[in-house]
Amino acid sequence: MERAERAWRIAAEVPDPELPMLTLAALGVLHGVEVTPDGTVVARLTPTYSGCPAVAEMRAEVATRLRAAGFADVRVVTVLDPPWTTDRITDEGRRRLTEHGIAPPGPRRTPGPAAGRTWLSLATAPAAQAQVPYQELPLDPDPGQEPPVVACPRCASADTVELSHFAATACTALRRCRTCLEPFPHVKDLP
């Protein structure tokens, strides 16, 4: 097996610290793994959002596992462009979320920014305005947009209501099913 493919498989199996039923690959956080000409393994992680508190733990665990597998020179870097979206969660990841009582985000869209979404690039903004360290900021979606239909992961009812936009992690919301009355977390759609 080629070194890069072997390194990918090792990094891909690292569980997400906040959603341990998912690997970094299933969550879509593992952006890529390459081996440079000098033999350094470079793993790229794209966090679910730029302030994700689990990034340091993810980076450390990927590096630890790669070194334990015999890769001496390892670098794990954070990639913010292109940004992570919920479209990167694999079908297997979505299935595992549901199995663990967490409603996955809505169906995948086509690659790239969501249709009708406008992106503001700070990279091309005047220097006086470009003091924010982010590459791109999505503008708010149309306020008249219908809220997403989120099925209960326990009974599959679509009759659910959001109780709180933030739950145990910043990327989840807390919802309750009006049919079985059970509360459940929902991974919010991030286009």
Residue whose C-alpha is closest to residue 14's, from 68, 51, 72: 68
> Residue 128 pLDDT > 70, yes or no?
no
Closest listed residue to residue 174, CA positions, set 164, 161, 189: 164
pLDDT band at 45 (very low <50, low <70, confident <90, very high): very high
Domain spans of the chain, in order of start: 3-86, 147-191
Residue with tokens 């969660």: 89
Model confidence band, residue 171 (pLDDT cutoffs 50, 70, 90): confident
Burial class (CB in 10 A: 0-12, 13-18, 19+), 188: buried
More confident of the two residues 148 and 31: 31
Query: Tell me: domain 3-86, CATH 3.40.50.2300, correct?
Result: no
Residue with tokens 């596992």: 65
d(CA 95, CA 110): 20
